[in-house]
Amino acid sequence: MAKYLLLKHYRGALEPLNCAPMDQWTPDEVAAHIGFMHDFAKRLEGTGEFVDAQALAPEGVWVQYGGEGKPPVTDGPFAETKDLIAGWMVIDVDSYERALELAGELSAAPGPGGEPIHEWLELRPFLTAPPTVTE
């Protein structure tokens, strides 16, 4: 089994086909989307492929070590993940091909009008061993 991270983006990839921002959807459209996500996760729980999933709130700041007891916190000027990443799902699957298949299914979550949003998902494998360093 190999673990993969599926990142749901607000922006940064090619424009999805049904791309109105979620704050412009009706309450029923939002509920249908979230229901799809829950049903998808429940199905993967049944196959043993689901690890975890979370939606992210838009709030957030950058934090960096700034010396003893004083981490600097800033709200920019860098592109921030709170503007980019809407949420994520971790899956544990037998193959890369299965990870691609599930990412494609998740991309079909409903959006406005109940139509699939054709969302672009970033599929990233978990690092299983540190990189080999050669001199």
Q: What are the pLDDT digits (tens) for 23-59?
A: 888 999 999 999 999 999 999 999 999 999 998 877 7
Q: Where are the beta strands (DSSP E) in 1-109?
A: 2-9, 50-55, 62-63, 73-74, 85-93
Distance from C-alpha of 53 to C-alpha of 91, rounded to nearest angstrom: 9
Q: Give the SS3 label for residue 41.
A: helix
Which amino acid, residue 46?
Answer: G
The CATH class for the domain spanning 2-125 reads: alpha beta
Joined tokens for residue 85 = 């990443």
Q: How do the domains of the chain map onto residue ranges?
A: 2-125
Residue among 26, 2, 11, 15 at smallest CA distance from 114: 26
Query: Does pTM surpass 0.75?
Result: yes
Q: What are the pLDDT digits (tens) for 49-67?
A: 999 999 887 777 666 666 7
Which amino acid, residue 75?
Answer: D
Distance from C-alpha of 21 to C-alpha of 132, rounded to nearest angstrom: 42
